[in-house]
Structure 1
Amino acid sequence: MTMTDENGTAATAQVPAAKSARHPLAGNNAAGVPASPATIDPDVWPGVAHAPSGTKALVAGKAAGLLFKAAVRRLPLRVAYPDGSVLGTGGLDAPVMTMVRPASFEVRIGDNGLIGLGESFMAGDWEASDLAGVLEVFAASVDTLIPTPLQKLRTLYLPRTPRQERNEEHNTRSNISRHYDLSNELFSNFLDTTMSYSSALFPRSDGALESVPWDALAEAQQAKIDRLLDKAGVGNGTRLLEIGTGWGELALRAAARGATVYSVTLSSEQRALAQERIAAAGYADQVTVALQDYRAVEGEFDAVVSVEMIEAVGYEYWPIYFQTIDRVLAPGGKVAIQAITMPHGRMLATRNAYTWVHKYIFPGGFLPSVRAIESVTQQHTTLRVRERMGMGDHYAATLRLWEERFVARSQEVGELGFDAVFQRMWLFYLSYSRAGFQSGYLDVQQIVLDRREAQL
């Protein structure tokens, strides 16, 4: 899974892995959200430990506070302040954002935009019992939160992606490892038994997706994989290339069909566990998991499948990604990818932004639009999009289950060495992602491509 968010500003910071986290878990508040950390080590969390200070930061904070209050006065939520005042148009059942340290919150967003929104939550400057609900309101109004004249000035102060985080071949493994090599045990605490870290595909017969139970997740993950394999024509004797191994579930299910699988990943942690799972299932002779950049793949394959990996490629490298697939795909072959997408106009407006998600979660990542995928493949390859299916509501349901599981396992996560700041960061990431799908700001698509000539 790879997400990105809206514009913000900040300096680059490395997210510490478990062995670097130094604070004890402070416990959970009544809503299950990890409680605010009592102390924050600035060496571990340099962007979180202290709010910006100085005259410039204070002036920016005052301005940001005025803009924020003007925006929330017309939004369907409630923002509660320590003095008892409440802003927003929401009723008693609306999501509530509780300000704990409003001055610190305002300085952070004034200095760092939406990066400051995430960092202020990590620091405990504000709370929310329904974090995804609060963030959904902001996501649904993202185009109107800031007055249009000020939006036009954002290119003057928003930084671009640091050079060391661009997805050039020598950088990409570092970018990937900062997320996927955190700890297999961390991910196992909130993923299901398939260890699938992408949107599931639930049967509509399960009823409302807002209430699907945890027990339905593993089967829904396998249904997602099976549909992709079906669309790519994977069966007995198929030579399959998988770009982005994850923890091996797709390779396992393809091997069970009789396919020979060559799967590439840049995560050493994922590769180790995937190989272990594949060997335990008896498919070691059918599946090769290589620690290799997708651009270095050689050979010929009857099918190519890639699940939520294009988001980590980077805007300027999408042509290379599809050219690589085009180069290795055998005549008559098919491609099936699953991709998180955003509206084309928003994609263009944010393609040079450096965001909270880049800083803390996915360095170098960027979401495509469907139009961008169609355009890139038409201009740079012989591949053409033949079929696609949107399933954003399924991702919202998947993320809800991950959130609930992550919060329920907070003690176990803390025992792995991940402190309260990390846990609040991860919860913000999961909740922000769910808010994007619930609001319709984001979608996820299963897309089928091949080389058939256009029908006249």
Structure 2
Amino acid sequence: MTRTAAPTTVPPTPVDPARWPDVARVPRTKLRAAVAGRLLRRVAHRRGLRVELPDGSVLVPAPPGAAVLRLHRPEAFLARVGATGLIGFGESYQAGDWDTPDLIGLLGVLATAPETLVPTGAQWLRRLYVQRPPAAELPTADNARRNIHHHYDLSNDLFGLFLDRTMTYSSAVFPTTPSGAPLATWDNLPEAQHRKIDRLLDLAAVGPGSRVLEIGTGWGELALRAAARGARVTSLTLSEEQLGHARLRIADAGLADRAEVRLCDYRSAEGQYDAVVSVEMIEAVGRPFWPEYFRTIDRVLAPGGRAALQAITMPHDRMIASSNTYTWILKYIFPGGLIPSVQAIDQATARHTRLRVAADHAYGPHYAETLRLWRERFTYRADEVDALGFDRVFRRTWELYLAYSEAGFRTGYLDVRQILLTREETAR
């Protein structure tokens, strides 16, 4: 190791053990911590990562401009990672055990080919720390509302701090340069969200008199724009916070005669609709329930109808590898979910419904830019997050979540797409 800077001392992040029990507790795992230390040295060497220690030294030589992992409490970091892998890596950030001057850059290094972080001959080590998702978080009809409440019912005021005035919590579609790169600014985000919604409504052929079912209301912007086209909209949500907010917005717009929001699980949808639209909701459905989700769409779609989905996707092999793994994102952000692959959507619709993918448009770089704007806004308004009663651990949790998601789209680990489903009317 070589000394490169003066030692720094960073006080621990205050952690409420009642609110954050696994962040407050540092595991006692000397052997696993030692293994984690060896793996960290290997990753730093192979990925050109600069790991800085509290005494000012670096773990291994790193090239100029390398991504930086700054360890404030190395023993706690290694104990957490050794005990629970990537969950421990996230909890270590929540606790303030490590930092970095460029969170996106660091996470991008780790998100590139993540399957190679652990050497092939040591893959058996995953059995030491990989957990299965808890049965209580499986998104059954009984559990789904609790899962949704965990994230979407935190506070409308919280989401209002970093979302734009449309209160749209999904990828926008920005104008692009001649090369196709998205041109994203805070000022053009509302217009970009409307562009996304309008493209989806066009894909579903929503117009005057259309009967529309929306699965997953959000805060109501899509229902508003569909109703403004003259459609009659029924929108389903399991979030009580979103329900109240969306109903109020619809009433204020004078569209209550055209748009109705119900507190209802998608499985209980009734009626016949010319169009079904659903924006980034399939990720919360859970793999065991994808057949039922698509069967519901097939059941309520009128003859000749169209279903338009916006979905985050990942490569199929990575989806399979992570489908029974309890991750940091599942534990702290989106319990019960799983991001599908395009292949999984094709398989689920082909095996269980008469629906078929008729169009598919991907635009992952736009989500990276959407997340950048949200992350910057969230960070800038940190004092206001505090004023709402959320502690520093919560802020670090959400900083990591937003940065982790952005890095996933920037590296291609994740994508987002608008998908058109139509029915084979003669299939039985």
User: TM tier, shorter chain?
Assistant: over 0.9
Q: Is 1:209–1:397's contact at 8 Å kept on the other side of the alignment? A: no
- Cα RMSD of the aligned pairs, angstroms, is 1.7
Q: Please state if 1:273 is matched with 2:248.
A: no
Deviation at 1:76, TM superposition (A): 3.5
2:112 maps to a residue whose letter is A
Q: Distance in 1 between matches of 2:121 and 2:336?
A: 29
Corresponding residue for residue 291 of structure 1: 263
Alignment map for 1:49-448 (pairs within 5 Å)? 49-53=24-28, 57-87=29-59, 91-152=63-124, 154-155=126-127, 157-205=129-177, 209=181, 212-448=184-420
Q: Larger deviation: 256-265 or 209-218?
A: 209-218
Q: Is the 8 A contact 1:75 1:137 kept in 2?
A: yes
Q: Sequence identity of aligned pairs in percent?
A: 57
Task: Structure 2: give runs of 5+ residues left out of the alignment.
Answer: 1-9
Task: Give the C-alpha shift of residue 152 in structure 1.
Answer: 4.6
Q: 2:16 aligns with which of 29, 41, 45?
A: 41
For the structure 1 residues 416 and 346, does the alpha-carbon distance in structure 2 shift closer, same or farther, using more than 3 Å as the test? same
Deviation string 1:386-431 (CA, Å, 9 cap, x unpaired) is 1101111000000000000000000011000011000000000000
Whole-angstrom CA distance in 2 between matches of 1:358 and 1:384:
29
Query: Separation in 2 of the partners of 1:196 and 1:122?
Result: 26
Shift of 1:287: 0.7
| Equivalent of residue 421 in structure 2, options 449, 452, 455 | 449
Q: State which drifts further: 69-78 or 261-270.
A: 69-78
Which structure carries more relative contact order (alpha carbon 8 Å, separation 6+)?
1
Amino acid corresponding to residue 44 of structure 1 in structure 2: R
Could you say if the C-alpha distance between residues 204 and 211 of structure 1 is closer, same or farther in structure 2, counting changes exceeding 3 Å? closer
Question: Contact 2:215–2:277 at 8 Å: present in 1 too?
Answer: yes
Secondary structure, counterpart of 1:73 in structure 2: helix
CA contact (8 A) 1:42 1:49 kept: yes
Counterpart amino acid of residue 39 in structure 1: P
- 1-structure distance, mates of 2:285, 2:205: 25
Distance 1:382 1:89 in 2: 57
Report SS of the residue matched to 1:48.
Answer: helix
Q: Distance in 2 between matches of 1:345 and 1:197?
A: 27
Once residues 46 and 451 of structure 1 are traced to their aligned partners in structure 2, the CA distance between those partners, rounded to angstroms, is 48
User: Residue 245 of structure 1: SS of its match in structure 2?
Assistant: coil
Say which is worse superposed, 79-88 or 282-291, in terms of deviation: 79-88
Normalised TM-score (structure 1): 0.88
Number of positions where the alignment pairs a residue of Structure 1 with one of Structure 2: 417
For the 8 Å contact 2:250–2:256, the answer to whether it is kept is yes
Q: CA deviation at 1:257?
A: 0.2
Aligned-pair CA distance for 1:242? 0.2
**Letter aligned with residue 138 of structure 1:** L
What code does the residue aligned with 1:51 have?
A: V
Q: How many angstroms apart in 1 are the aligned matches of 2:11 and 2:112?
A: 27
Q: Mean alpha-carbon deviation: is it higher for 244-253 or for 205-214?
A: 205-214
- Structure 1 portions without partners, runs of 5+: 1-34
> What SS is found at the alignment partner of 1:305?
strand
- Whether the aligned pair in 1 keeps the contact of 2:12 and 2:97 (CA below 8 Å) is no
Partners of 1:238 and 1:379 in 2: how far apart? 28
Q: 1:453 to 1:93 in 2, by over 3 A?
A: farther
User: What's the CA shift string for 1:104-132, capped at 9, x where partnerless?
Assistant: 10000000110001000010100012111
For residues 266 and 111 of structure 1, the distance between their equivalents in structure 2, rounded to whole angstroms, comes to: 35
Q: Counterpart amino acid of 1:394? A: H
Give me the TM-score of the superposition, normalised by structure 2. 0.94
